Amino acid sequence: MGYISYFNVVKSKDFISSPYNRRSDTLAKRVTRGKILDKRGKVLAQTTTSADGSETREYPYGREFAHVVGYTAKGKYGLESRMNSELLSSNAFFLEKLTNEFQDKKNPGDNVVTTLDVKLQRAAYDALGDRKGAVVAMDPKTGKVLAMVSKPDFNPETVEDKWQTLNTDSSARLLNRATQGQYPPGSTFKVVTALEYLREHGNPDDYSYVCQGQIEAGSNTIHCFGGKVHGQVSFRDSLAYSCNTSFSNIGQGLKIPDFKKTTKKLLFDSKLPGNISYKESHFALSDQAGIAERMMTAIGQGKTQVSPYHMALITSAIANGGTLMKPYLVDSVTNYKGAVISSTKPEKYAELMTAKEASMLKDYMSSVTKYGTAASAMSGTSYTTAGKTGTAEYSSDKNKDHSWFIGMSNVDDPDLVVSVVIEAADGNAKAVNVARKVFDAYY
């Protein structure tokens, strides 16, 4: 009895929505699949019916929304899968449905209105260009996901015809890198290291370190990016200039058990909120870790793995005074005439940090865009910004790195958070430039 109750309350929707459930095939015989719309009502997916009654699923924006909206071929994916039962349900007026039944006509399916913004999605898509990577944009006050781009992409209308090629593509075109990509976070992780330092030491105003451009880490040597020598730096300067040697120095003095608790609080090695397919991020630092591993972990290298989506969640919590709102992609479900059947309300997920900690981190991140590593890219804006750049090495070869940026705009009352990763940027592309274009499009 307990399991039956649990199944009906918790699990039933997953089974009903499953593309492997034959019930959906039965529904599809009686209902024309509904539309998927952006926040302003622009059509992202729709079904057209030809004169002979055959149906075609169309995606007016094609590749731009491929990973997040998904497709209906070969088992369904993305929102097409998650909202399968809603799209194949009809809440048309009952007399209209009854008439259609008598005339052996299909009823119009319900529409899914998303939180996605075509304008922001296109800005992110165009800014990435032909680079592999991902962009996530969110409203930190509500948890609404406004944009989610992953590249390389695919044409959702030709998935069935090109399934074999797509499924064996070495570049993993079908993988949503925004939520399922696993990357070393590079210097964006210094925000996490900074939080742990604040928790162990309180006010860091008395912190001072002399950067000589490199620091010994066991038998290895850690260098500041580009071989820069920052000289004497404060805690604020260390984050602003992304000083590797200073954060390596900080890392070797942190308490590993406490550091692990902080990362757990920030949802590493944990479930992530939101009705989105994702991979868990991992923080791997054992209590017996040596000095070199501690230092590398503190600067976002080592064995730590994270997705752009997860970094967007952490940044959203910082922007929202420590509170992470539950992220969501579906604003409402309506019938085909626009009457609201159900809607999503903003919901608090968890307190990832205190309001004071969030305020301090936001303040330090403002230095990154005012005079630090993101200053040139963020200069001349009509809005204020705060953020953190990152360069994550993925090979022992020199200049082999992913480019990262996490940040927020309108710092006193943040209304947009952006997380960007560019794979194999290798010094030729910067994630902060992609983020700038998304911020500009928003304003």
pLDDT band at 12 (very low <50, low <70, confident <90, very high): confident
Residue 1 pLDDT > 70, yes or no? yes
Distance CA 310, CA 386 (A): 18
Q: What is the pLDDT of residue 308?
A: 98
User: Would the CA dihedral through 121, 413, 435, 297 be positive or negative?
Assistant: negative
CA atoms within 13 Å, Cβ hemisphere of 180 = 12
**Does residue 147 contact residue 121 with C-beta atoms inside 8 Å?**
yes
pLDDT (tens digit, 9 = 90+) per residue, 327-384? 999 999 999 999 999 999 999 999 999 999 999 999 999 999 999 999 999 999 999 9
Q: What is the pLDDT of residue 25?
A: 64
Q: Region 226-230: what's the mean pLDDT?
A: 90
Q: What is the pLDDT of residue 396?
A: 74
pLDDT (tens digit, 9 = 90+) per residue, 145-192? 999 999 999 999 999 999 999 999 999 999 999 999 999 999 999 999
**Does residue 326 contact residue 348 with C-beta atoms inside 8 Å?**
yes
pLDDT (tens digit, 9 = 90+) per residue, 109-151? 999 999 999 999 999 999 999 999 999 999 999 999 999 999 9
User: Cα dist. 30→26, 55, 100 in Å?
Assistant: 7, 13, 10
Beta strands 231-234; 323-325: pairing state: unpaired
Residue 24 pLDDT > 80, yes or no? no
**Does residue 90 contact residue 110 with C-beta atoms inside 8 Å?**
yes
Residue 13 pLDDT > 70, yes or no? no
Distance CA 134, CA 289 (A): 32
Q: What is the pLDDT of residue 231?
A: 96
Share of the chain above pLDDT 70, in %: 98
pTM flag (> 0.85): yes
**Locus of tokens 């990357």:** 183
Select the highest-mean-pLDDT range: 74-78, 92-96, 190-194.
190-194
Q: What is the pLDDT of residue 16?
A: 66
Residue 27 pLDDT > 80, yes or no? no
Residue 15 pLDDT > 90, yes or no? no
Q: What is the pLDDT of residue 26?
A: 72
pLDDT band at 264 (very low <50, low <70, confident <90, very high): very high
Distance CA 358, CA 381 (A): 23
Distance CA 340, CA 273 (A): 25
E-assigned strand segments in 1-68: 31-32, 36-37, 43-49, 55-58
Distance CA 334, CA 336 (A): 6
Residue 233 pLDDT > 70, yes or no? yes
Residue 6 pLDDT > 70, yes or no? yes
User: Would the CA dihedral through 352, 314, 269, 225 be positive or negative?
Assistant: negative
Q: What is the pLDDT of residue 130?
A: 96
pLDDT (tens digit, 9 = 90+) per residue, 401-431? 999 999 999 999 999 999 999 999 988 899 9
Q: What is the pLDDT of residue 380?
A: 96
Distance CA 358, CA 46 (A): 42
pLDDT band at 19 (very low <50, low <70, confident <90, very high): low
**Does residue 126 contact residue 308 with C-beta atoms inside 8 Å?**
no
- Whether cis (ω within 30° of 0) applies to the bond prior to 152 is yes
Distance CA 274, CA 79 (A): 12
Residue 33 pLDDT > 70, yes or no? yes
Q: What is the pLDDT of residue 427?
A: 86
Q: What is the pLDDT of residue 97?
A: 84
Share of the chain above pLDDT 90, in %: 80
Residue 7 CB contacts under 8 Å (≥ 6 apart), including other chains: none
Kindly report the CATH number that applies to the domain delimited by 186-442: 3.40.710.10
Q: What is the pLDDT of residue 399?
A: 79
pLDDT band at 433 (very low <50, low <70, confident <90, very high): very high
User: Taking all residues of the chain, what is their mean pLDDT, rounded to a whole number?
Assistant: 94
